[in-house]
Amino acid sequence: MNLLRAYIRAIDALNRGIGRIAMWGIFVMMAILLWSSISKTFFNPTLWTLEMAQFAMVAYYIIGGPYALQMGSHVRMDLFYGNWSPRRKAAIDALTVFFLIFYLGIMLYGGLGSTSYSLGYWGTEPLSFFAGLLTGSEEISRLERSPSAWRPYLWPVKTIMVIGFTLMLLQALSELFKDIARLRGVELAEPQT
């Protein structure tokens, strides 16, 4: 139990800190869109603003997702759930989080494949490519760029996507451990603030 408690405390603290920083990302996106409006009205329109706003929104959404899961802020179908006891909620949450973990595992693997492609790897084993990058047996080749007029590199946003999926998967495991502990009558989580 001490190991689970330490895992939950560490992952919750990590995602709480990152989530609170990510909340400010909405202001970054608003500033980019404001500049887009100003530049279109008074100056020459800039090519980078709309795509950069999309990238900022991806970072805001993906990096903030684990914090939203931790806080219970995701949308739920509350037809029956609101009237259930805390123990029954924990049982249903423990069951449904397996579907989330499976989904996140597939998304993470796909994200790793997409990120490795954006770094110039055209093989079918993205995990071996990243392991090769760490050991020095693989190299980054031609970097993928967006087909837009601005043509930014795509690896930064794809890397954020992989980091977000990883954090979400770690948080989903934390929530699973909390639900299993609640079913056993033990509270592992600290009160949410």
- Whole-angstrom distance, CA of residue 40 vs CA of residue 37: 5
List, in order, residues 6 or more apart from 94 with CB less than 8 Å away. Answer: 176, 179, 180, 183
User: Over 70: is that where the pLDDT of 38 sits?
Assistant: yes
Q: CA 157: distance to chain centroid?
A: 11
Q: pLDDT band for 192, please (50, 70, 90 cuts).
A: low
Residue 16 CB coordination number (10 Å): 17
Amino acid sitting at position 28:
V
Q: pLDDT band for 13, please (50, 70, 90 cuts).
A: very high
Q: What are phi and psi of 139, to 5 degrees?
A: -130, 155
Q: What are phi and psi of 79, to 5 degrees?
A: -70, -45
User: Over 70: is that where the pLDDT of 191 sits?
Assistant: no
82: tokens are 């609101």
- Whole-angstrom distance, CA of residue 173 vs CA of residue 82: 23
43: tokens are 């100056």
State pTM to two decimals. 0.88
SS3 52: helix
User: Over 60: is that where the pLDDT of 107 sits?
Assistant: yes
